[in-house]
Chains A and B, each alone.
Chain A
């Protein structure tokens, strides 16, 4: 299927566990982004990537790790999950940075 997909859609994990959220896009977009959305906030950028093997921090990167070995994949790892990382996570891709295409989101609960 063409587009951008995220998996899993829902995840419950325990504090201290490592969790990886997957993101896959089929457009060969250069740019990819990870956001989190919390009540009362807009989307906050965690990490972004301008191309394969090029990643950089966004506004709220602490506690997260990303990699981008292939253009189409951009996984986000929570190395040791904390309750404050309970959120909805969105992955996005773009050919031109600002007009971004979003995945359906992953709702993560850390207990």
Chain B
């Protein structure tokens, strides 16, 4: 039973446009969410996070939105750049120090 779902395995976006990556979760007890970015042959790197007491968190070109009633979060990247091409994982805080991870979405930025 996947508690964190990223339903789009891949997403292709034109350079300069907005990229929107989506993530759904099932456990209403989650209260902290994170996005990580992963390049091939590297480990994931932390990108941005949001607490459940907020509905938005912004860091430069990256904004994460949280809709608790829909159990949905999204990552917006504006404007998209070629270096943003990577796999993006969303994760939620589970019990006992565990992060619950989605399967990832591969973002491809087209020039």
Contact = CB atoms under 8 A, between A and B. Distances in A.
Interface string A80-102: 00000000001010000111111
Contact of B34 (A33, A48, A99): A99
Contacts of A90: 43-44
B42 A98 contact: no
Given A59-B98, A98-B99, A99-B49, A92 B43 contact: yes
A82 B103 CA distance: 23
Contact of A56 (B45, B49, B96, B99): B96
A87 to B, nearest CB: 14
Interface string A56-75: 10110000000000000000
Given A42-B91, A42-B104, A99-B49, A48 B43 contact: no
Contacts of B32: 98
Interface residues of B, number: 23
A50 B97 contact: yes
Contacts of B101: 42-44
Given A40-B103, A42-B104, A98-B32, A48 B44 contact: no
Contacts of A102: 43-45
B48 to A, nearest CB: 10
Contact of B42 (A40, A42, A56, A104): A104
B79 to A, nearest CB: 26
A52 to B, nearest CB: 15
A56 B86 CA distance: 31
Cβ-closest 7 pairs across A and B: A102-B43, A42-B101, A43-B101, A99-B46, A42-B103, A102-B44, A42-B102
